[in-house]
Every structure is written in C-alpha cells, then in structure tokens.
Amino acid sequence: MPKKSITGQSWLSLINIDKVYSSDKQRQAFSLFTMIAIAIIVISMLVVFNYTVYSPILTASLIAVDITLISGTFYFIKTAKLEMVALISMCIVFIMCVALTYTGGKENTALYWLMFYPVVCFASLGVKHGCRLGLCLLLCCSIILYGPDFGQVNYGSIEKSRFLASFTLVFIFSFIGEYFRHKSHLAIADITLAQTQDAYTDQLTGGANRRFITAHFLKLAAKTPENYLPFSILLLDLDYFKRLNDTYGHDFGDTVLIEFTKLLDSQFPNSAVKARYGGEEFVVILPKETAPVAIKLADDFRQCVAKQAILTSDNKRVFITCSIGVAQVDDVDHYSRALKQADEYLYLAKEQGRNKVVSNHTGTL
C-alpha cells in the first residue's frame, strides 16, 4: 500500500469517480422520465375519455399534473437539475394520487393507480425522499379511507383493507430494494475511489505518479481550463543519484526520494500538482502560473534542496542538489510539447553543471 502519511494528500482531492455517480444519475433520470412519459400519456387519455365522468376537482388536478410534468421535463433539459425536477414531479404526482383517492376516479377504481407510486418514488428520489413521500401518501390515503366523512367517496371495507395491505407491501419491498441498492452503490464507489487513488499513487513516496498526470489531471484541465490554464511545468531531476545509490546503498536512495517528495510538498503551494515521473525524476505543475513566476519558485526550491542534509544509517550528513527545466502550457493539447521542452531545459541544466534552473524565458539560474 502507498505510504500516504509521507506527503500531504491535496492532489487526491482532484481524483473523482464521476462515471460511477453518473451511471446512478442516469438510472434515476431514466426511471423518472419513463414515469413522466407514461403518466402524461395515461393522464391525457383519462381526461379525454372520462372528463364527463370525473369530478371537476379530479379533472383539474389531472390537467395540472400533465402541465407540471411537461414543464418539469423542459426545465430539466434546460438546467439538468435532476433532483429538483424529480422532487417537484413526485410531489405533483403525490397530489394527484390524493385527489384520485378522494374522488374515486371512474367507478371507484382510483386505488389501483396508486400502487406504482412507491416504486417510482424510491427509484427517482432515493431512500430519504422516497420514504417520506411514500409514508405521507400512505397516511393521507388511510385518513381518506378510514377518517371522518369530508366529502370523499366510499370504498368497500375489503377493498380498503386490501389496498392498504398491498400498498404497504409494495412500499416495504421498494424501500428494502432501494436501501440495499444504495448501500451497495456506496460500497462500490468507495472501492472504486480507493483503487483509483492507489493506481495514481507512487508506492514508495506516497505522492502522485506519472499516470495521475496523464490519465487524470490533463483530462481535468481540459474539462475546466479556466481553473488551470495557463500552467507551468517543472521537470526536476536529482543530481548524481546513481552515485548516491552506489555509495550509500539503495535504502538510502529510497530515503532521498522520500525526503525529496516531502520537500516538494512543503515548498510548493497546495494548488501545485507534484508527481514522481520515474526513477529520480519528478514533475511539478503550477496551475494559473506563468513561466516567470514558476522559474522564481523553482529556483527558491533548488536553493532549499541544496541546504537540506539527509542522514545516512550511520548518521552521516549528505547534501543533495537537483536540476530543473521549466516550460509553460497555454493549451492542454500542447502539454506533450511543453514537457519535451522542459526535458530539453533539464538536459541543458545538467550539461551546464547541474544544480540549476533552465528555461527559455531566463536562460540559466
């Protein structure tokens, strides 16, 4: 497992699993708008063929439901606010169900139409709101069926008891299904997030790895360029790292990499993305920073590294240095080109004696 205590984990907050959540949103939207489509068709047919039979209250309620459902659909298309549209739609259908129960519909068959409500309510609203609206409808129907006479139609005693028993069973099993589906979804989301974070974490240092930059960060920057562009790339390489390994052993080399990662995390701002790119090479991305600013930050870091002593297993103080190449990215599609430039500047820094910062903006520092 990655050593997550080594460095700060601000970069992990950039990792999301939108695909997992978007699939659940699609399920909710499909359930809701299937119900809306069926409801609009059925309600329209009921009004057209039965307006002479229905009471004026019921007819007006059905027409209002149709208009509201159609309006909600257009509102969703415009705003994509699924939760709000779902809640309003199910509240309107709730009112329609109460009106149906109160008036009886055609030949007192209204109760049959209520059975679908808990299923769609839980599917489109989830456990919390689905449970509230379902229980409220059950309570309202119970009052209408068994409460005092305030103008509602009369149902047979057997019909009332069978309806309440059937509705309660549908509600209970809909609740059980949605509750455990939701728990399973959250568990899968947690596992997916943990696996994604692990895949993007360098196992030695606990910081981000190269895959995080190429597979996640660049997609994020392309999706919301206003939050990241322009950004600067710092390509850093530890000087004489092979010599350190050969002289003090690979365990000390690992210690150097870990301590260097700590310095990256402490010396650059939290908004910066720091990653181990491979071996002793690291990359730092500075969102919303141009190359001149990045060069100054890079040189401050270079000087900080040169002053830090790392202790060997026998308490010998060893000083390290790093070379840095800097380039600027104005378009995410040009990232590879900018990275290649930073690599060329890093090579120049090595050629010019190491422990330097090189960029096309200032030459060598």
Confidence of residue 188 (pLDDT cuts 50, 70, 90): confident
Tell me phi and psi for residue 276, to 5 degrees.
Answer: -85, 120
Structure confidence at residue 133 (pLDDT): 95
Both structure tokens of 268: 């650059």
Structure confidence at residue 258 (pLDDT): 96
Confidence of residue 333 (pLDDT cuts 50, 70, 90): very high
Confidence of residue 306 (pLDDT cuts 50, 70, 90): very high
Determine the average pLDDT of the residues in 327-355.
Answer: 95
Alpha helices in the chain (DSSP H): 18-50, 56-79, 82-103, 117-146, 157-199, 210-211, 218-223, 241-248, 250-267, 291-307, 335-351
User: In this model, does residue 266 exceed pLDDT 90?
Assistant: yes
Structure confidence at residue 6 (pLDDT): 40
Confidence of residue 363 (pLDDT cuts 50, 70, 90): low
Q: Cα separations (Å) of 322 from 129, 204, 248, 284, 302?
A: 57, 19, 18, 13, 6
Which of 137, 154, 52, 149 has the alpha carbon at shortest distance from 98? 137
User: In this model, does residue 19 exceed pLDDT 80?
Assistant: no
Tell me the catalytic residues. 280
Structure confidence at residue 310 (pLDDT): 94
The C-alpha atoms of residue 79 and residue 81 are separated, in whole angstroms, by 5
Among 20-24, 177-181, 215-219, 317-321, the minimum mean pLDDT is found in 20-24
User: In this model, does residue 184 exceed pLDDT 80?
Assistant: yes
**Mean of the per-residue pLDDT values for the chain?**
88
High-pLDDT (> 90) share of the chain, %: 55
User: In this model, does residue 8 exceed pLDDT 60?
Assistant: no
Q: Are 66 and 43 in contact (CB under 8 A)?
A: yes
Q: Are 241 and 256 in contact (CB under 8 A)?
A: yes
User: In this model, does residue 48 exceed pLDDT 50?
Assistant: yes
Structure confidence at residue 364 (pLDDT): 52
Tell me phi and psi for residue 268, to 5 degrees.
Answer: -100, 155
pLDDT digits (tens, 9 = 90+) for 123-150: 889 999 999 999 999 999 999 999 998 8
CB atoms near residue 275 (< 10 Å): 26
The type of residue at 140 is: C
Structure confidence at residue 20 (pLDDT): 55
Structure confidence at residue 250 (pLDDT): 93
Structure confidence at residue 165 (pLDDT): 95
User: In this model, does residue 7 exceed pLDDT 50?
Assistant: no
Determine the average pLDDT of the residues in 20-36.
Answer: 78
Structure confidence at residue 108 (pLDDT): 82
DSSP classification of residue 201: B
Determine the average pLDDT of the residues in 11-16.
Answer: 69
Q: Are 25 and 82 in contact (CB under 8 A)?
A: yes
